Structures are given as structure tokens and as C-alpha cells.
Amino acid sequence: MSATSEKSPRPAAPHSGARQEIAWLRGGTQHNGRWSGYAHLLIARLREMQREPEVIFWVFLFPLLLAFGLGIAFRSRPASVPNVAIAAGPGADAVLQLAQRSPQSLHARIVPEAEALDGFRLGRYDLVVVPKNAGDNNLPQVEYRYDPARPESVLARAQTDDALQAAAGRTSPIPASAQASSEPGARYIDFLIPGLLGMNLMNSGMWGVGFALVDYRQRKLLKRYVATPMRRGDFLLALMTSRLVLMIPELGLLLAFGIFVFHMRVAGSWLAILLLGTLGAATFAGLGLLTASRAQKIESVSGLINLVMMPMWIFSGVFFSYERFPAVMQPLIRALPLTALNDALRATILQGAPLMAQAQAGRLLVLLAWAGLSFVLALSWFRWT
């Protein structure tokens, strides 16, 4: 860094010839270049963050823990085996025998009807089969109790019915075979990691800039800084730069985790990912700046930051696809910066979409618009004291 100060051989008293050398001023004065303030501000900010254990945890460890936890919880596995309760009574044994004879795997057991219905309500059973009197051909009649609003219940009904009918002799008129496909790239963890990247960029941008600024303001440190010849632009630039510097390990760590622990495949170029990370970090740094432009107290900015981030946690497709929300909301959801960032990251990382592809370019524009707007507004509203 060329901007740091160096000793000057020149004696003290740069201002007026009348000033004598002060006794303790043995080392004389130093000379600072144009970027000395910026460089020192940046280094100071990085040191501050590095010495804050909370930052290390929330920025680096927490996303990994989240990825690991969710990756384990939603790891790819065979579709769950339905839990079926057969209400005790005449015909129950016959139903159980049929169920066990079928090639489909079912967990079926006989329990008293009241207990079966209780368990169904609590989610222990996906389906309750209530046998009725045996029919003419000595086969039991059954009634299915299921919940049409619970996907696993609907599935259990279909599977159980199939199993029972097949075991009782129904044949399939169309011969069919099936091939399972569970490739890296289509699993939940592959969906999740880019979403976590985006969310992490949002979290650390909003907190790292917004919270830090209000903390400085509350400490009257901003006021102290503007009482010096420090260039205000340099101060904000250093804060932004510190975010970009931190973004690189943030991005790298989570991606490396996905690659090494969950064998994720990165289809797109690293440069494109880095560019997206930079744009995302800058956008959320801008939003953080805007959020913090006036707030005087840590408490009030914390509330504001959460208020800004909450909709994006929910709608921007971090943990699940936002396609689940009603169609009317889709254009609004797509206009959110985190949605644009997550979509762009997924397209690049999972599908290798080039940045200039039409859909990607649209997302980049959304991000640029948010970044530009928040910087312009923040700088005109910003209060230093």
C-alpha cells in the first residue's frame, strides 16, 4: 500500500515560522499521501471485524452450520414410506396380510380405532384404514381416512390402495418400468447453497455496514472523524471495500463446503460467481447505508434492518422456491434484490448460465437499480452527527 505515511526529514512547524519546536516533538512531522486516510480506515475496519468474535461466527460459521443442518435434514433419500394404521376390528388381520403381501413397502400395523385416529391427527400416521365387513368374495372392504391437504396423506392413500388392490389380484393393463434419477445439481442442498450465499451476503452487508455506522454515530465517532480533514467519501468507500474484502472468504467458504461435504457441482465460471458476489455485496452495503443514514441508536437500526430483511428471507427463495407464492405476487418478488441475487447465483452456479444471458442480465439490472438507488438516497440523507 503506497498510501501509508513515511518519515520526513523536514523539521516541525509547517504552519508558521514563529512556532518553535516542541520539546517532545523529536521525530518531526510525517507526510501523508492522498490515500493515507482511506488505507488506514480500511485496515482499521478489517481489524475491528477480525477482532469481533461475533462477526466471525455470524458471517462464517453460522451459514455453514445452517447449510450442514438443512443439508442433513433434507438430504436426498427414498420417498418416505407411508405409516398406515389399520383400525382394529373384524377384517383388520385380513387387510394387514394383504398389505404385507404387496411388493410396495408400507409400514402398517393394527391399533385400536381411537388410537389410530389420534395418531393420525398428531401426524404419527399418514393414513387410517378402517376395515368393514367382509364382502362376498371373502375380501375385506376398507374405508380410507386421509387428509387431502397433507401431501404425504394423499400419497399414502394412493400407495396403500395400490398395494391392497395388487395383492388382491388387480393387474396393470399397461406394462411400465421406472428408472430413478438423483443427480447432484437437482438435490435440495444444491438449491440451498446458492440461496444461503445470497442470504449471507444480505445479512453481512446490512449488519456490517448498517449496524457499524450507527454504532459509530452513537459513539460520536462519526462526529469525531468529520472534525478531522478525513474525506467523507473515503470513509464510506473504506466501509464498502471492507465488505467486498470480506465477501470473498464468505463466498469461498460456503461454496467449498458445498463442494467438499455435499459433492456439489459448480457449473458456472468462478469469475462470474465473484462478480455476482461483488454486485450483491455492494447492493446490500448500499441498503445497509440507507437504513443507517439517519438512525441514532443501535436499537432503532436493528429494528429497521430486520424490517428490511424479513420479507426477503421469506419471499426471495432462500430455503424454498418462491414459485409457491401466488402468481400475482411473482413480479413483486422478482423485483426484490435478494430474489434477483439468488436467481442469478443459482443460474450461474447450477446451470452455468452466462452473465449476459437475457434472464441473467435482467437480474443484474435489478441489483444495479437497487444499489444505485440506495447509494444516491443514502448519501443525500446521511447524517454524520
Binding site for another protein (CB under 8 A): 4-5, 7-8, 12-16, 18-32, 36-37, 39-41, 44, 47-48, 51-52, 219-221, 223-230, 385
* 3-state secondary structure at position 145: strand
**Minimum gap (Å) between residue 288 Cβ and another protein:** 18
**Minimum gap (Å) between residue 289 Cβ and another protein:** 19
**Minimum gap (Å) between residue 214 Cβ and another protein:** 13
- Give the residue with the Cβ less far from another protein, 221 or 332: 221
- Nearest C-alpha neighbor of 97 from the set 136, 138, 45, 56: 138
- Give the residue with the Cβ less far from another protein, 47 or 132: 47
**Minimum gap (Å) between residue 204 Cβ and another protein:** 17
User: Where is 246: in which H helix or E strand?
Assistant: helix 232-262
**Minimum gap (Å) between residue 25 Cβ and another protein:** 6
- Nearest C-alpha neighbor of 98 from the set 170, 168, 171: 168
Amino acid present at 354: P
Block residue for cell numbers 446458492? 194
- Give the residue with the Cβ less far from another protein, 190 or 234: 234
User: Where is 325: in which H helix or E strand?
Assistant: none
Instruction: Give me the long-range contacts of 64-69 (CB less than 8 A, separation at least 24).
Output: 64/253, 64/254, 64/257, 66/196, 67/189, 67/192, 67/193, 67/196, 67/254, 67/257, 67/258, 67/262, 68/257, 68/261
Q: Are 210 and 288 in contact (CB under 8 A)?
A: yes
- Give the residue with the Cβ less far from another protein, 54 or 143: 54
Read off the C-alpha cell for 264.
456439489
CA distance 240 to 221: 18
**Minimum gap (Å) between residue 19 Cβ and another protein:** 4
Amino acid present at 233: G
CB count, 10 Å around CB of 224?
Answer: 12
**Minimum gap (Å) between residue 383 Cβ and another protein:** 12
- Give the residue with the Cβ less far from another protein, 16 or 138: 16
- Give the residue with the Cβ less far from another protein, 320 or 381: 381
- Give the residue with the Cβ less far from another protein, 113 or 215: 215
CA distance 256 to 244: 18
**Minimum gap (Å) between residue 227 Cβ and another protein:** 4
**Minimum gap (Å) between residue 305 Cβ and another protein:** 21
**Minimum gap (Å) between residue 6 Cβ and another protein:** 11
Read off the C-alpha cell for 291.
437504513
User: Where is 359: in which H helix or E strand?
Assistant: helix 358-381
**Strand-pair partners of 108:** 84
- Give the residue with the Cβ less far from another protein, 27 or 103: 27
Question: Pairing relation of β-strands 127-134 and 83-87?
Answer: parallel
Helix boundaries (H) for 172-231: 188-205, 212-218, 221-226
- Give the residue with the Cβ less far from another protein, 43 or 274: 43
- Give the residue with the Cβ less far from another protein, 52 or 143: 52
Q: What backbone torsions phi and psi does residue 130 show, to the nearest 5 degrees?
A: -105, 110
- Tell me the angle at which helices 270-291 and 188-205 cross, rounded to the nearest 10 degrees: 40
